[in-house]
Structure 1
């Protein structure tokens, strides 16, 4: 989709979010994101639940807290926290965290134990969900997976069937 078409869609949706927020009342906040903007993806907000603002970003990595919660709940027999199907995040980093966690839980493997094949499956799932269409997505995903950017780029090329020049990559 062209930038022009995306801009037109966002412009058409901006007035709609006011109606959505009004329909569901004061406990509802509707946030419109333009993922092309990276850290400043919020382009419109209707309702006041979280205090998010246009251009806003929340830069808090809660991955370790979520992992600790999952670890501590296991001996008690509790299931890990359910990942919501819709993510209301203030920035792309939080969206990536939720997506990584959801995919890891679905696959039953912690990030540190992913083989290259499982990491390729994970990256393929992200690519199908257009995660890598967002600017600076690769470094963010690499950080979450504990891999280098070059490894993610190489794996992504392999997922897409693209040949890259250079020495063979080590299987992990």
Structure 2
């Protein structure tokens, strides 16, 4: 274990103990180039039902897709587990030489119980005015296959119509979303996406190029 990872595991353990069993702390190793098994350390994995050796989250794919210089820590956003629990999450990028992101330290705190209390109090505290729009929590996945399925679902939701009713422009929009999210970093994702949208691999690449030109 290198010194940075050793320090991160010490910090992760401290955070987990401090906040208790509803606080999951995860370390993703981006130095290994093993996307299928990016989780190298986890505390309180029961929160998201993940374990050591599980695959990446959407944030990990976005990290690999973007240039390190433009990445900023993402603090206090919402995520969602398979069984519908809502987590308050933060993601911190741990950098190594040449400013590359070597590790990701993620904190996922289960606030489902707190939201239940909040929902009970909200009718008593609400006014006729509303401020802002609710943001849909991101789903936490366990493997690259689960993650790809989730990203495809999100791309369809973005377009707002089933694949059978999509025009060429609709499919280009969906595929651009997948490309921006880093979906095509996943092995054999091109085959699955092509089959899902009913297009050839050649057409898939042309749609990706069409968006670059735009």
Question: What TM-score do you get using the length of structure 1 for normalisation?
Answer: 0.55
1:83: how far off?
Answer: 9.3
Spell out, residue by residue over 1:72-118, the C-alpha distance to the aligned partner (whole angstroms, 9 max, x if none): xxxxxxxxxx9953331111222222222223223321123222211
Q: CA RMSD of the aligned region, Å?
A: 3.4
Spell out, residue by residue over 1:8-51, the C-alpha distance to the aligned partner (whole angstroms, 9 max, x if none): 9x948942443443344213333444575343333332213055
Which of 144, 147, 155 is the matching residue for 1:95? 147
1:30 aligns with 2:82: no
Q: Distance in 1 between matches of 2:7 and 2:173?
A: 33
Instruction: Flag the structure with larger Rg.
Output: 2
Question: What TM-score do you get using the length of structure 2 for normalisation?
Answer: 0.46
Is contact 2:194–2:204 with CA below 8 Å preserved after alignment? yes
| More strand as a share of residues | 2
Q: What's the counterpart of residue 171 of structure 2?
A: 119
1:120: how far off?
Answer: 0.9
Task: Structure 1: state its 5+ residue gaps.
Answer: 1-7, 58-81, 162-172
Aligned length: 129
| More helix as a share of residues | 1
Greater relative CO, 1 or 2 (CA 8 Å, sep 6+): 2
Is contact 2:25–2:43 with CA below 8 Å preserved after alignment? yes
Which of 132, 151, 156 is the matching residue for 1:104? 156
